[in-house]
Amino acid sequence: MMSFLAKNYNRKKIAFSKGKGSFLISVDGKKYLDFVQGIAVNSLGHSHPKLIRSLNNQSKKIWHVSNAFIIPEGEKLAKKIVKKTFADFVMFQNSGTEATEAAIKVARRYFYSIGKPNKNRILCIKNSFHGRTIAAIYASGSKKMTEGFGPKVKGFDHFEYGDHSSLKKLLNKNTAAVMIETIMGEGGIKVIPDWCLKELRKLCDKKKILLILDEVQCGIGRSGDFFAFEKSKVKPDIVPIAKGIGGGFPLGAVLMNKRVASSMIAGTHGSTFGGNPLAMQIGNTVFDIISKKSFLNNVKTNSKYFLTQLNEIKNKYPNIIKEVRGRGFLIGLQLHKDQTNFIKKLMDNKLLTIRAAENVVRILPPLNVKKSEINLALRIINKVCSTY
C-alpha cells in the first residue's frame, strides 16, 4: 500500500480498529494484549468508561478558548496537582517535549530574574531522552537524534549514567540545573537509585543549582507512586510531566515550586493549545482516578507480582534474559542480544511490547491491568523463551 506519510517511523505492519482496556483489536479482527499502551500514555487502558464520559460531556460544552481567558477546568486541575505534590504552580503544555523545554526555560529565567543570566547551562545524562524538539534533542545528548540537525544548540553538558565524578566535575558556576529522568525510559529502563537522588539534591543545594526531574514517562502512577521520586523523599524544583496524565489525550505540564515560579511573569511563556478546556477536563478525570491511594497501592501490588514472576522467567532462561529492570509498570527485559526478533515473536503470540535502548524489551501495561492479563503476558513470554 502506498503511504503518503513521511517515512520517519519504522512502523509494524499492523493497524488497529478498536481498543478495550488492556486489549487491542486489529483491523483483521485479531485480539492483542497491549503492553505498549501508546508508550505509557493510556494509563487507564483503552476506552475507559469514565474518560469517554468526561470527553463526551466536555465536548458538548467548550473545547478551546485561549489562555487570554480564565479556564476553570485548568484552575481545578492545577489546584489538585498542587495539593497532592511538591509543586506550588503548574504551567500546562500539550506534550512531553514542550514540557521539558518549558522546564529549561523556567530554570534559566529564574537565574536571569535574580541577576545571574550566565547561570544557564543544563547538565543531563548522555543518551537520555527529553523529547524531539531542537533543544530537547541536544539536551538528550544522543548522537543518533541530533545527526543532521545542526548547528548544535549550546548550553547542555553531559555525563554518563552512573559516572558521579564526571557529574561533579561538570557542575560549575554557570550550571543552572541538573535535568534527569527519575527512571530512564527510552534509554533502557534504568532506575536512578534513591540514594543517588538524595545525594544529587544535596549537591544541587550546596551549589545553588536547580533539580529538574523529567517524569514524562515514569510519573503519574507508572512507578507505583504518583511520582517516581517520591520514594526517595527528594523534592525537585521543576518537574515536566505528560504521557500518562492525559490517559490518551495529548496533555503535558511543568510543575514548579514558588521560588522558580516567581520569575515566570506575564508574557514570559505561552501556548496556544496548552491547557485547553477539553484536555483539562480529561486531565481532571485521569488525575482523580490515579491519585487515589488505593489505586496506587494496587499498582504497587500487581507490579511487584509481575516483576517477581518475570525474574523467575529470567532465572529459567538466563541465556536469553540478562536482567529484569524497572519499577512499577515501567518494566524492561534486557536481553543478551538484539531484541527485535523477541518483540516480533511476542507479537506473533498476541502480546505487544516495544523496544528501548540496550537490547531492552519495554513492557508498559495499563496501570489498571488485571492480574489475569498479567498472567496471560507471563504465559506468552514463557512460551517465546521456551522456543527461542
Ligand X SMILES: *Cc1c(COP(=O)(O)O)cnc(C)c1O
Binding site for ligand X (CB under 6 A): 95-97, 100, 129-131, 181, 185-186, 214, 216-217, 242-243
Q: How far is the CB of 368 from ligand X (least distance, A)?
A: 20
Of 181 and 237, CB closest to ligand X = 181
Of 186 and 358, CB closest to ligand X = 186
3-state SS track over 152-198:
CCCCEEEECCCCHHHHHHHCCCCEEEEEEECEECCCCCEECCHHHHH
Residue number of the CB closest to ligand X reads 96
Q: Which triple of cell numbers denotes residue 87?
A: 509543586
Of 247 and 385, CB closest to ligand X = 247
364, 388 in Cβ contact below 8 A? no
Q: How far is the CB of 216 from ligand X (least distance, A)?
A: 4
Q: How far is the CB of 212 from ligand X (least distance, A)?
A: 11
Of 364 and 374, CB closest to ligand X = 364
Q: Of 14, 49, 25, which Cα lies nearest the Cα of 247?
A: 49
Of 103 and 313, CB closest to ligand X = 103
**Pairwise CA distance, residues 34 & 55, whole Å:** 22
44, 286 in Cβ contact below 8 A? yes
Q: How far is the CB of 97 from ligand X (least distance, A)?
A: 3
**Pairwise CA distance, residues 293 & 230, whole Å:** 13
Of 165 and 272, CB closest to ligand X = 272
From edge to edge, which strands make up the β-sheet containing 16-20? 16-20, 23-26, 31-34, 351-352
List residues bridging with 243 in a β-sheet: none
Helices 277-290, 293-316: crossing angle, 10 deg rounding: 70
Q: Is 378 helix (H, G, I), strand (E, B) or coil?
A: helix
Of 91 and 242, CB closest to ligand X = 242
List residues bridging with 240 in a β-sheet: 254
φ and ψ at 187, to 5 degrees? -70, -5
**Pairwise CA distance, residues 279 & 59, whole Å:** 10
Q: How far is the CB of 43 from ligand X (least distance, A)?
A: 13
224, 70 in Cβ contact below 8 A? no
366, 42 in Cβ contact below 8 A? yes
146, 132 in Cβ contact below 8 A? no
Of 328 and 373, CB closest to ligand X = 328
Q: Which triple of cell numbers denotes residue 1?
A: 500500500
Q: How far is the CB of 132 from ligand X (least distance, A)?
A: 6
Of 77 and 239, CB closest to ligand X = 239
Q: How far is the CB of 256 from ligand X (least distance, A)?
A: 16
Q: How far is the CB of 93 from ligand X (least distance, A)?
A: 9
Q: How far is the CB of 198 from ligand X (least distance, A)?
A: 21
